[in-house]
Structure 1
């Protein structure tokens, strides 16, 4: 593990506030998968794939993907049951990872620069560990890798719901009792340390995403079942046998960047440094005063670290070519 290298800020594209990138429904695996494309702005851009966290959507990546569009030809997917994708049959880390693997193969864009936030980070680790041929680099932002002290997460209060038969119905009832505006504010407060960094346009888009969830009858079940699958993966990681996310992380061979916010309220703040220690070729960036979604809260800073990783790996590749 080493410290992340930050690319000079003035060499990034000029700051702007793009709208969410165009999206489309793709019939894939027997259901509709929603995919947003961030078109590359330069020739030679490499393929990238962005995977969101629990309760999030592909829209969470708009700012970061825009800042990287001169280097990366990006796609962001809505996982089954979230955003605008249809519900899935299984909501486990292996099931989501299998979908990501099949999507990379189906889109014929691999290997990709793979990004994951929170739940998406756990999925990305599984993909990189199982299919190194599909991953050029790995960027993990507040990855939800296993930790057992749920007092360190606001989502710990969800644990009793997992033990209640019909917990999905309780969550659905709770959601219907909250106005979308209140729910959007609660989501932002849980995920973002400094709300002044989130402008009115992004707040309005977050509200619209909440409205989409309210209209989806499957959303509460998808959320609870995914959370149950995530907790199950945490427990398995500390037991003997296959399926440990920590053992998969140790097998990752792609160059990796791990970003953590020291004001993260959803994932134990000790997880990001531990992840960077476990992944062999890793770089760590810990951010003071930043929460769970650094790519939304401080996208330029995250972009600088990503470009630092890309530049480093490109230089390493050139040296290998010369040596060969």
Structure 2
């Protein structure tokens, strides 16, 4: 049964742009981009299950997460949308395009390929578990706890966006961490669905990221045969590292489909 996802909607006319975050992210991460995009279109940002303000639920399969998003589109009476997804969110929108292509006006994929990846979040899980047990009173304490396992400050700042004030004071994680960790193998696996999505697709990749290498492009093109691949001078978090270039690439791509 689909989860009723939390979302933020700018309102407006036309085919909306639906934005879906990556692992450990949330709709809140996209505020600056939404502020720019809402000038010209309706933008809906989504919290996936076990993320942000959405409910916690067992299972992180791409079938289930795509079904959650389809249920949200149904609830909002949106027949078709432009879908933008970063990292895990990119696999969600690819899955949706493969299982329900009639709901997709176009795809924008942020630095991910429709492939299985290796495990590389052990230190992140360790840091988040340390936060759970440490019950920090403030963000400085939270950063110290995370820093015992996560050395990159930028990653710690990103993970700290998942903290909220608890009922008993102090800070707590709003992630469904048990549910995410229990199904991590599925998250690192390929998207759901079979065949190929024949619609317009933009793939934005980071020049310094290992997630969409040249060697992966043949497999990517098998699933997304109409993909235009644009490389930005960034790592995996290209929308944060190169926000203006990322926004402009998305705006140009969507402007070419203004009548879609």
Query: Are residues 101 and 187 of structure 1, via their aligned partners in 2, closer, same or farther at CA, if it must alter by over 3 Å?
Result: farther
User: What root-mean-square deviation, in Å, do the aligned CA atoms of Structure 1 and Structure 2 show?
Assistant: 3.4
In the TM superposition, residue 133 of structure 1 has moved relative to its aligned partner by 1.3
For 1:228, the equivalent position in structure 2 comes to 185
Equivalent position of 1:176 in the other structure = 132
Q: Deviation of residue 312 (structure 1)? A: 2.3
- Residue 303 of structure 1: aligned partner: 247
Please list every run of 5 or more consecutive structure 1 residues that lacks an aligned counterpart in the other structure.
1-27, 159-167, 192-202, 238-242, 318-324
Deviation at 1:313, TM superposition (A): 2.7
Please give the residue correspondences for 1:229-248 in structure 2 after superposition, counting only pairs within 5 Å. 229-231=186-188, 233-234=189-190, 243=192, 247-248=194-195
- State the Cα deviation string for residues 238-259 of structure 1 (Å, max 9, x = none): xxxxx5x6x44xx112211101
CA spacing shift, 1:66–1:273, aligned 2, 3 Å: farther
The verdict on how the C-alpha distance between 1:276 and 1:303 changes in structure 2, with shifts beyond 3 A counting, is: farther
Specify the SS of the correspondent of 2:256: helix
Gaps of 5+ in 2: 135-140
Relative to structure 1, the CA distance from residue 295 to residue 91 in structure 2 (aligned partners, 3 Å threshold; closer, same or farther) is same
Q: Does 1:62 align with 2:31?
A: yes
Asked if residue 253 in structure 1 is aligned to residue 209 in structure 2, the reply is: no
Structure 2 vs 1, CA of residues 173 and 313 (structure 1 numbering), >3 Å: closer, same or farther? closer
Shift of the alpha carbon at 1:219?
2.6
1:257/1:284 contact within 8 Å kept:
yes
Asked whether 1:114 is paired with 2:75, we answer no
Residues 1:125 and 2:94 aligned together = yes
TM-score for the superposition, normalised by structure 1: 0.64
In structure 2, do the counterparts of structure 1 residues 133 and 144 end up closer, same or farther at CA, with 3 Å as the change threshold? Answer: same
Q: Would the alpha carbon gap of residues 71 and 187 (structure 1) be closer, same or farther in structure 2, given more than 3 Å must change?
A: farther
The 5 Å alignment of 1:1-324 reads: 29=2, 33-40=5-12, 44-143=13-112, 145-148=114-117, 150=118, 154-155=120-121, 157=122, 173-176=129-132, 179-182=141-144, 183=146, 189-190=154-155, 207-211=160-164, 215-216=172-173, 219-231=176-188, 233-234=189-190, 243=192, 247-248=194-195, 251-264=196-209, 267=211, 269-270=213-214, 273-274=217-218, 277-278=221-222, 279-288=224-233, 290-314=234-258
Superposed displacement of residue 186, structure 1: 5.2
| Matched residue count | 246
